[in-house]
Structure 1
Amino acid sequence: MSRVLAPEGAGSMPAAAPDAVSPSCDRKSVSRRAAIAASTGTAVEYYEFGVYGYMAAIIAPLFFPSDNPAAALLASLAVFGSAFLTRPLGGIILGRLGDRIGRRGVLLTTVIGMGLSTALIGFLPTTAQAGILAPILLVLIRLAQGFFAGAEVVGAAAFVAESAPAHRRGFFGAFTPVGVAIGGGTAACVCGVITLLLSPEALQAWGWRIPFFLCVPLVLLSCKLRHNVEETPEYKAFLKKDKPPAAPVREVMGRHLGSVVRVVILAFGQNVGYFIGIVFMNIYLTTYLKFDKSHVYWTIAGISFIVAAMMPFWGAVSDRLGRRRTLAIGFLGYMVLVVPMMTLMNGASIWVAALALLVATLPMPIIQSVGYPTYAEQFPTRVRYTGMAIAVNLGAILGGGVAPFMSSALIGSTGNLLMPGYFLAGAASLSLLSLIFLKETAGQQLER
């Protein structure tokens, strides 16, 4: 850093040149760019998950024609869950690359792969046009989406954690799940507009394809932002002192198995909260409670954006209060709020149902915003990408891939509309118990 030195003996301290930039200011700039680049990519991932989930009831008879609408819906949700099967594989392969060659290049690959896969769904023929080939192609594309998604949100979270100062890692880390909420909210908005503008016949004939095509602008924006960011300071500092691991998967499972188990349980509760609280609630309100689809889409969109706005606040709270205490507030919130709010929705007006859904999702911004930086802090830099990819994706399979299907299946087998709420409360209680064994990492330097 250039300095203007005072004459010898003048007694004054050296003064910084006007164009000098302090390391703290530069780190903040790096953190902001990393947070924005990360959030746009996660927005692409959850836009796709949202669009498929919101359009599931419309897609179901097109790809899984059946005399039983419930069976067709379950088949469509099973395909939704199939994307989670390849997430660990994608996470391990791409996460290994992320630990060996760096985070930036892999994150460009994931967002392009997810975007192309999503757009391809819009080109698919239906079963009426191509027979059994149509659902087979749908499953294959969903598997490809899952492969790339397996390294997306975890890589984004690692990227931000390694770019942010220790005392503000929770705040900047919250912008990764901000992308999650914005992606889901944008998906709901798009589906709401399409449903409003098109007749049911046009929607089934061709309109359902439009939301899948519209992921392309999001992908282009994310690619531009991610291309313009540098490799993370933590990863560059690690490379100066050590070599990338030769076998990161073996190292994670051999040396950090306890961290893997803890993160799996936390990610399970986090994913159940999101995929029941947002994605399945669309099906719940439209299919089971018979609310108008367009009203439900706008409700979920509004709630998603409210959730996104709250996340940086809770991320900052965790920097002061600690990750464990803040996460405990969120999981306790799910246990207390979800079942009563679902009870209130049944038989209510759309306005009361919307308010009840908003209250039920209040724990979501807490757990989403604090969860991702917490996961990143559980693993050292040398295997952070791989460790997160394994643990978070296993939690996502159990919580995200299974939750919507299980919710519909439980309602169908028991006739009790509150079963998804009980399922969510049970998942939250399990995650709450796991916090006992979680080490507090707020404000601490990342392990290399």
Structure 2
Amino acid sequence: MTTIPTATSIEGGHPTGSRRMKPRRAAVAAAAGTAVEYYEFGVYGYLAVIIGPLFFPNDNPTASLLATLAVFGSAFVMRPLGGIVLGRLGDRIGRKPVLITTVVGMGTATAVVGLLPTAESIGLLAPLALLLVRLAQGFFAGGEVTGSATYLSEAAPHGRRGFFGAFTPVGVAIGGGAAALVAGLTTTLLDDDQLRDFGWRIPFLLALPLIAITLAARSKLEDSHAFAEETKTAPAKSPLREVLTEHTAAVFKVIVLSIGSNTGYWVGLIFMNIYLTTYLEYPKSNTFWIMGGISLFVATLMPVFGGLSDRFGRKRIITIGFLGYAILVLPTMILMDQGSFALAVAAMVVLALPMPIVQSVTYPTYAEQFPTRVRYTGLSFAFNIGTIIGGGLTPYLATWLISQTGNLLAPGFLLMVAVVAALFTLRTVRESSRAELL
């Protein structure tokens, strides 16, 4: 049975004694690592139209883009394996060492992408090398965002898990926004020849200083009081087996919810970059700037909605966000296709409004579905399965659907299907905003 701290052992929501948790420090450190992860994934997504021909030369631009997005998706395939391995370590030896490992592994792999030779230099070995590095990146990413969500759920004071838990997706938004801004700056300052020759490498190499910043923040963390209390007896011997045999329903619910939330992020933001630049032919650099600004704007709203979920309940807030996606996606995509960049920007801002609602509240909700002894493993396994479908497959599938049907609205229907499935699943999830952690 999970040991829950009593009122006599807590002061202001923190354990007494030398191992006093500091939720603000935990929130900053967790968000920093998640920002690094989504910066790295975002850079690849934003630069896909530039690096595609360099690694997959083809007379057909769509075929080259599809190949690039397939490698993009391959990193997601490794995430469940990384989640299982790193989640098991996190549940047995502690959250902190694993969270340090993930950010170093991801950052190093991203920097290596910036050093890879292209197909012009080494032929078919170039896409193979890119694939291998992306697989390594996906492995470490499998334990990052879920480790952040796990840690913050345990570090937050009772009754404020929604607010502090929202800093995991704050990192997601900041990382994605930084990726867009860096891509925008690079494409603005360099011409097409410079981008192809060396400019595309710069955003990937910037991962190196980001690693140093995150390590400085995370080195000061301590493992959560809940985890320390749980492991006073004995950690789970086989966390994955325990998750699959004793928490099957929670696994299924988190998978479906994460498909909905990830589809909202990767179709509603990352793919929309491709939609605006490749299919609607708006300027790349201007689009990058807009995407970056939108990401940073939604990041400021996430703690607000996280806090509202503490007051009004997780399920009510998440429902509003998913319904927003379902209602807004098709009208906003139609507005984007009217030939006016200003109108397209306004439509993109409107489409992004559900994002801070869904992202801020689903992460603490995921963590609250599993007990402390297997939380890292359960969350990592279930969330990453959902991420394969909602994140890894959707940009590729959206591009493929457009190429097969000629219907530019096909990605919108894809998003609608994902969020409707998530809404039905949400009805079966227990309300956890006021409950103690298991």
TM-score for the superposition, normalised by structure 2: 0.96
Task: Tell me the distance in 2 between the aligned counterparts of 1:317 and 1:338.
Answer: 24
Instruction: State the partner residue of 1:50.
Output: 42
Task: Tell me the distance in 1 between the aligned counterparts of 2:292 and 2:396.
Answer: 22
Task: Tell me the distance in 1 between the aligned counterparts of 2:282 and 2:310.
Answer: 40
Q: CA deviation at 1:26?
A: 5.0
SS in 1 for 2:210: helix
> Does 2:64 match 1:72?
yes
Structure 1 residue identity aligned to 2:398: S
Task: Tell me the distance in 1 between the aligned counterparts of 2:125 and 2:45.
Answer: 21
Instruction: State the partner residue of 1:320.
Output: 311
Instruction: State the partner residue of 2:350.
Output: 359
Task: Tell me the distance in 2 between the aligned counterparts of 1:246 and 1:336.
Answer: 46
Instruction: State the partner residue of 1:384.
Output: 375
Q: CA deviation at 1:29?
A: 6.3
SS in 1 for 2:22: helix
Match of 1:221 among 213, 218, 221: 213
Q: Contact (CA 8 Å) 1:169, 1:443: kept in 2 or not?
A: no
SS in 2 for 1:244: coil
Match of 2:391 among 385, 395, 400: 400
Task: Tell me the distance in 2 between the aligned counterparts of 1:334 and 1:409.
Answer: 21
- 1:90-105 equivalent positions in 2, closer than 5 A: 90-105=82-97
- 1:9-408 equivalent positions in 2, closer than 5 A: 23-24=11-12, 30-240=22-232, 242-408=233-399
Q: Contact (CA 8 Å) 1:103, 1:159: kept in 2 or not?
A: yes
SS in 2 for 1:231: coil
Q: Contact (CA 8 Å) 2:152, 2:165: kept in 1 or not?
A: yes
SS in 2 for 1:229: coil
CA shift digits 1:244-292 (9 cap, x unpaired): 0000010000000000000000000010000011111110000000000
Q: Contact (CA 8 Å) 2:103, 2:214: kept in 1 or not?
A: yes
Q: CA deviation at 1:23?
A: 1.9
Task: Tell me the distance in 1 between the aligned counterparts of 2:215 and 2:342.
Answer: 39
Instruction: State the partner residue of 1:17.
Output: none
Alpha-carbon spacing, 1:348–1:29, altered in 2? closer, same or farther (3 Å): farther
Instruction: State the partner residue of 1:4.
Output: none
Task: Tell me the distance in 2 between the aligned counterparts of 1:86 and 1:25.
Answer: 37
Q: CA deviation at 1:425?
A: 1.0
Q: Contact (CA 8 Å) 1:295, 1:350: kept in 2 or not?
A: no
Structure 1 residue identity aligned to 2:12: S
Instruction: State the partner residue of 1:435.
Output: 426
SS in 1 for 2:282: coil
In the alignment, structure 2 segments of 5+ residues that lack a partner are 1-9
Structure 2 residue identity aligned to 1:337: L
> Does 2:427 match 1:422?
no
SS in 2 for 1:334: helix
Q: CA deviation at 1:348?
A: 3.4
Instruction: State the partner residue of 2:7.
Output: none
SS in 1 for 2:236: coil
Q: Contact (CA 8 Å) 1:327, 1:367: kept in 2 or not?
A: yes
Q: CA deviation at 1:110?
A: 0.2
Task: Tell me the distance in 2 between the aligned counterparts of 1:213 and 1:390.
Answer: 30
Q: CA deviation at 1:239?
A: 2.0
Structure 2 residue identity aligned to 1:109: T
State the number of aligned residues: 426
Same amino acid, percent of matched pairs:
56
Task: Tell me the distance in 2 between the aligned counterparts of 1:49 and 1:29.
Answer: 30
Task: Tell me the distance in 2 between the aligned counterparts of 1:198 and 1:391.
Answer: 41
Q: Contact (CA 8 Å) 2:267, 2:394: kept in 1 or not?
A: yes
Q: Contact (CA 8 Å) 2:13, 2:156: kept in 1 or not?
A: no
Task: Tell me the distance in 1 between the aligned counterparts of 2:11 and 2:57.
Answer: 61
Q: Contact (CA 8 Å) 1:289, 1:347: kept in 2 or not?
A: no
Q: Which runs of 4+ in 1 moved over 2 A?
A: 25-29
Structure 1 residue identity aligned to 2:27: A
Task: Tell me the distance in 1 between the aligned counterparts of 2:63 and 2:105.
Answer: 31
Q: CA deviation at 1:25?
A: 7.0
Structure 1 residue identity aligned to 2:67: A
Task: Tell me the distance in 2 between the aligned counterparts of 1:109 and 1:156.
Answer: 12
Task: Tell me the distance in 2 between the aligned counterparts of 1:25 and 1:333.
Answer: 34
Structure 2 residue identity aligned to 1:80: F
Structure 2 residue identity aligned to 1:412: S
TM-score for the superposition, normalised by structure 1: 0.94
Structure 2 residue identity aligned to 1:92: I
Alpha-carbon spacing, 1:427–1:34, altered in 2? closer, same or farther (3 Å): same
Task: Tell me the distance in 2 between the aligned counterparts of 1:102 and 1:338.
Answer: 41
Q: Contact (CA 8 Å) 1:285, 1:291: kept in 2 or not?
A: yes
Q: Contact (CA 8 Å) 2:29, 2:214: kept in 1 or not?
A: yes
Q: CA deviation at 1:403?
A: 0.5
Structure 1 residue identity aligned to 2:230: F
